[in-house]
Amino acid sequence: MAPANLTAFVDEDPPVSLWRDAWHRLFRNKLAVAGLVIVIFLALVAMFGPWLTPYDFLTQNLEVRNQAPSLAHLFGTDDLGRDVLSRVIYGTRTAFVVAIVVTTVAVAIGVALGAIAGYYGGLLDRTIMWFTDMTMSVPNLLLVVVINASLKTPVTAWMEAQYQATLNPFYRQTVWVDFLLVFGSMALISWPPYARLVRAQVLSIRGRPYVTAARALGLTNRLIIMRYIVPNAVGPLIVSVSAGLGTAMVLESAFSFLGVGVNPPTPSWGNMISDGLRVWQHYPHLLAAPAAVLGLATVAFSFLGDGLNDALNPRGSK
């Protein structure tokens, strides 16, 4: 009984999936594209850092201390005569490594717990959400300070003891203790928002008619999760991860600024800002360079996150 008029008004454009549609919307958003370009640029800088730095980031040259920016040192030099540009580039590496590892760990924990809580419900849900709320209620900074203050000395001492026993130079690399503690404590405080988001997504999608229809078709739970729930839940998660990467960078800088994150001489934007702040009236470039890059990265991630939000949830915007 196919009515002829039903076919008449259908245009002949190629069909667009929601994902491709979202890409188009993202590329029409100038701010989001700018954010994406900056993020990609910073990521490339982080990746190819060792080949981009004009000087070694640790080499001190006391003859050129505290120099203003010049052609030889584009961002100037610090109080030990180290090239600030090279240190900012290495700080970018620190920021990206911390952000990516922390966000990956936090998303893995959050998605697993959130999906279990949302899908199975009941006592499991209540236990997981109680644990999530409890974690959220602990002040971030306090937790990180406590972990770093209480664990750093024993872990360092243990590593020194291992070195004495085995003479394996691996145990002398205390940089990894910093990173381990920073990653660990940050991941420990960053996962609850992801768990909540994923749980809410799963709860809302689980009740939609298309999931009930899939159950009525007799599909297995595994198929329903893989084809119905996951593809519809990842949109908000992508937005949240993009914003979360920026947040993790700020958090790492904040901890390093306060001296509980990455410790000198490993460069981090945070500890560079901390060093620069003491002398900013005399040598403003020491503060300006890392602060500007941190600001740029934060703004870029936030524009990208906004753009992704508009692109992936078009009904929510305007």
Partner 1 sequence: MGAQPLLKVENLVKHFVVKLGAFGEKGATVYAVDDVSFDIMTGETLSLVGESGCGKSTTGFTLLNLQRATAGKVIFEGENIVALDEKRMRPYRRALQIVFQDPYSTLNPRMTVGEVVGEPILFHKLATKAELPERIARLLADVGLPSRFAQRYPHELSGGQRQRVAIARALACQPKFIVCDEAISALDVSVQAQIINLLLDLQQKYGLTYLFIAHDLAVVRHISDRVGVMYLGRLAELATREQLFSNPLHPYTKALLSAVPEADPELEQTRRRQILTGDVPSPLAPPAGCRFHTRCPIAMDQCRSVVPEWREVVPGHHVACHAVAESVPG
Are 100 and 247 spatial neighbours (Cβ–Cβ below 8 Å)? no
Q: Give the separation between CA 141 and CA 85, rounded to whole angstroms.
A: 29
The smaller minimum CB distance to partner 1, of residues 4 and 62, is found at 4
What are phi and psi for residue 200, nearest 5 degrees?
Answer: -60, -40
Question: What tokens does 89 get?
Answer: 């580039």
Name the minimum Å distance from CB 3 to partner 1.
6
Beta bridge partners of 77: 83
Tell whether residue 213 is a contact of partner 1 (CB under 8 A).
yes
Nearest distance in Å: CB 227, partner 1: 7
Q: Is 216 in the site for partner 1 (CB under 8 A)?
A: yes
User: Residue 62, exposed/middle/buried by CB under 10 A (0-12, 13-18, 19+)?
Assistant: exposed
Whether 66 contacts 211, CB under 8 Å = no
Q: Which residue among 70, 127, 153, 212 contacts partner 1 (CB under 8 A)?
A: 212
State the Cα–Cα distance between residues 177 and 199, nearest whole angstrom.
33
Of residues 217-276, which lie at the interface with partner 1 (CB under 8 A)?
217-219, 221, 223, 227-228, 231-232
Instruction: Write down the least CB distance from residue 305 to partner 1, Å.
Output: 22
Q: Is 171 in the site for partner 1 (CB under 8 A)?
A: no
Sole binder of partner 1 in the list 16, 40, 68, 124 (CB under 8 A): 16
Site for partner 1 contains 313 (CB under 8 A): no
Residue 113, amino acid: L
Whose Cβ is closer to partner 1: residue 175's or residue 223's?
Answer: 223
Nearer to partner 1, 68 or 223 (CB): 223
**Window 19 to 58, contacts with partner 1 (CB under 8 A):** 19
Beta carbons of 307 and 29 less than 8 angstroms apart? yes
Residues 54 and 83: their CA atoms lie apart, in Å, by 8
Residues in contact with partner 1 by CB under 8 A are 1-3, 6-7, 10, 14-19, 208-210, 212-219, 221, 223, 227-228, 231-232
